[in-house]
Structure 1
């Protein structure tokens, strides 16, 4: 079975090289660059990858473009700030050799700086696994700017349990808060475009329910103060998105 590794990135020349090295086990590497102005294209080509450059307003559109350009029967989708561990590489190869299913969840290890944070990831701010290994034609991203939904064709197989995607999700706390700001801005644009931004009461309620899920349901308390920070960001994402759409709509319309 031919395996394509798909990397979607924008101005990631600092982190792209290590990502591509970890994907050397794939039969094909495709790098999709969205409005990129740094040296990522040259880095991709030097590593033997195919490079697709363009400009896409929607995250779903650029990811779908990458999926369509892959030539493998199976696709492993990763981001430039992720690395495939050797154990996961072996597990992926073994899975596609025998799997009758359309897609599989892939485990993630999330790092903030040098710290591995295993607990507390919930909702749209982080996850401990992703549906990243799939047959071509099985996965379709929806047309949204941030965390687009997915449409599937076929049946889900068992989760891969060996190895992990090593995700360098944030460099530090400041980087985490910048990500919260960036995500909520993109989400505010999606809310305005959809014509339904929700209500203040509903989003305040979501703040507390999502923070509780992160800290208690996903055991973020096991991470100490880091768990408190993660719960805050998880809860704040929909509330901040709503407030931007309601209070500053002129800044977030197309």
Structure 2
């Protein structure tokens, strides 16, 4: 009896000037059949590092996060794609899970567990509100995932159903190690970057919202992350994450409202 052909998996990394973190990320992708690295206006040694790991390079300049990620997806040739960031690591045990699932999956995509680290500390609870997640839809069939055109946290369009939360189909026994922030200062810098990019998206869409609405969003996100997502179990770290998650939409609104000249996207040439 003929065996079905082995399904090929592409690992996709989208990065910009990530020479410090790219080597560890690429070294963890040995379970893939090919590695595709998208470099967006990188000026450091990222390209040389990617080539040294045998990756296929896609270089260019994209204003929108969704566009650069779609360019990477288009460059992948595998039957399935695992999309990771330069600050993420995929352990060998997770590759075993991924191979087992895709070999039998009839679905379009699956969510994968994310283990978030601040420095050397694993923080399990409290992530949410566009500031972090513990489960991401990063494993998908080629052609099933399309990013929308936004600068930060772009939306997604899917073709095909999500893998059901059944034993044997979910990928949760092992997680991707996400070195999300180095320390508190790094976390606050990330909040500043995210809110500036979101302010540009709000201005581009012509919908910056109102102050009362964003105050309500701020408070509801803090409560959801700290209470609903059990951030209280992480002590002060959980409170800090909840505050950042809540402040993200409020800061984005205030930047767009008070400093539009600093955050309004440049007109296309």
TM class by shorter chain equals over 0.9
Partner of 1:129: 135
Any idea what SS the aligned residue of 1:31 has?
A: strand
Matched, 1:82 2:83: no
Q: 2:175 aligns with which of 161, 164, 179?
A: 164
Q: Choose the corresponding residue for 2:252, options 207, 222, 241.
A: 241
User: Is residue 11 from structure 1 mapped to residue 22 from structure 2 by the alignment?
Assistant: no
TM-score, normalization by structure 2: 0.94
Q: 1:24 aligns with which of 30, 55, 63?
A: 30
Which residues in structure 2 correspond to 1:225-236 (within 5 Å)?
225-236=236-247
What is the CA–CA distance in structure 1 between the aligned matches of 2:93 and 2:163, rounded to whole Å? Answer: 19
Alignment partners' CA distance in 1, 2:76 and 2:176:
20
**Aligned mate of 1:188, from 186, 190, 199:** 199
Q: What is the root-mean-square deviation of aligned Cα atoms in Å?
A: 0.6
Contiguous gaps of at least 5 residues in structure 1: none
Q: 1:221 aligns with which of 229, 232, 253?
A: 232
1:108 matches 2:114: yes
Q: Which has the larger radius of gyration?
A: 2
Partner Cα separation in structure 2 for residue 146 and residue 3 of structure 1: 26
Is the partner of 2:173 in helix, strand or coil?
Answer: coil
State the alpha-carbon separation in 1 of the partners of residues 26 and 163 from structure 2.
26
Q: Deviations over 1:206-227 (max 9, x none)?
A: 1100000000000000000001
Is the contact between residue 9 and residue 80 of structure 2 (CA under 8 Å) also seen in structure 1?
yes
Runs of 4+ off more than 6 Å: none
Q: 1:54 aligns with which of 60, 75, 79?
A: 60
How far is the alpha carbon of 1:123 from its aligned partner? 1.7
1:153 and 1:100 mapped to 2: Cα distance? 12
Aligned residues: 254
* TM-score, reference length from structure 1: 0.99
For residues 21-74 of structure 1, give each alpha carbon's deviation from its aligned partner in whole angstroms, at most 9, with x where no partner exists.
110110000000001000000000000111111000000000000000100010
